[in-house]
Copies of this chain bind each other. A is one copy, B any other.
């Protein structure tokens, strides 16, 4: 044992002890079939004894594969820097676990929109592909996506699947979810349904949800009133402001479908402050089923996205892209969770 215990063992050490050459060690550990079973078993035993692990840097340098994925959050700079959209945060767990299961490391980065995009590109040296999460300035976002495509970077993003977008997209069935929400509201007798959330093409997911709502209303014989749609981004304050604007407009409404739970929670605060009784006067449905949704008063009916399925699907789609296998856009089902805010 003249060897320093502090220096990590290399494949040469294993090779020496096993009486083979270094490449054979590499082959054995990577599962090449041109190594005899006996040799492989011996090498694996020695590697375990020495606590040997492949040096990822050397491995990546040589093979040009990092076995690492990068996760990029895109968000508008928020006033409170440490605030992150809880929905995406939940998805993080699902993604990390799937990465671990597939033997990939996950590099994470919170990208403020105003930052230099080159940081992301730089990541491509460090990762085999990128998962993009988050809303944000959509036009700016698109131009950067095009840049990614030009560079040949492999990526997949979470978002609106209906949209004919750049790159590969995985997302919830936002239209279907909107329909479910709309149908439920109609079912409990609401017909003057407001929608809080950006319905422009800046936020395709929100637009899809609105489309679904409209479709459900028309299917039931009601025409959605454009005046009852109010823009809002996914924050509590924005929802609060949008609901107040709606109240100020004087337009009567008996239900709100909010494009996210945060918006819904802000709206509930505005409505409560205005002296309205929920859900009696106004029924409310949110979107995302964040933990807080079951704590509001009344508890919030909302749409639960399949977070557990999202991570595996995103990772799988990205790995398929990386390995140049064909992948089609995939849609995850969403489910309406009925709580007190629509219980009349």
Partner-B contacts on A (CB < 8 A): 6, 8, 51, 53-58, 60-61, 66, 68, 81-84, 86, 89-94, 96-97, 100, 105-110, 118-119, 121-122, 125-126, 152, 265, 291-292, 295-297, 307-308, 311
Contacts and interface: CB of A to CB of B under 8 A. Distances in A.
Contacts of A291: 86, 292
Contacts of A125: 8, 53-57
Given A82-B91, A86-B89, A86-B291, 4 more contacts: A51-B121, A55-B61, A68-B107, A105-B126
B308 A81 contact: yes
Nearest to A307: B82
A105 B97 contact: no
B105 A110 contact: no
Contact of A106 (B90, B109, B122, B152): B109
Contacts of A54: 125
Contacts of A51: 118, 121
B86 A92 contact: no
B108 A96 contact: yes
Contacts of A8: 125
A86 B84 contact: no
Pick the 5 closest A-B CB pairs, nearest first.
A57-B61, A57-B60, A297-B297, A53-B122, A82-B93
18 contacts: A6-B152, A56-B126, A57-B57, A57-B66, A61-B61, A82-B90, A82-B307, A83-B93, A84-B92, A86-B86, A86-B89, A89-B89, A93-B110, A106-B107, A107-B108, A265-B295, A291-B292, A292-B295
B105 A106 contact: no
A92 B89 contact: yes
A118 B97 CA distance: 17
Contacts of A81: 93-94, 97, 308
Contact of A296 (B90, B92, B126, B295): B295
A265 B106 CA distance: 33
B100 A105 contact: no
A149 to B, nearest CB: 13
Contacts of A122: 53
Contacts of A110: 93, 96-97, 100
A297 B297 CA distance: 7
A96 B265 CA distance: 28
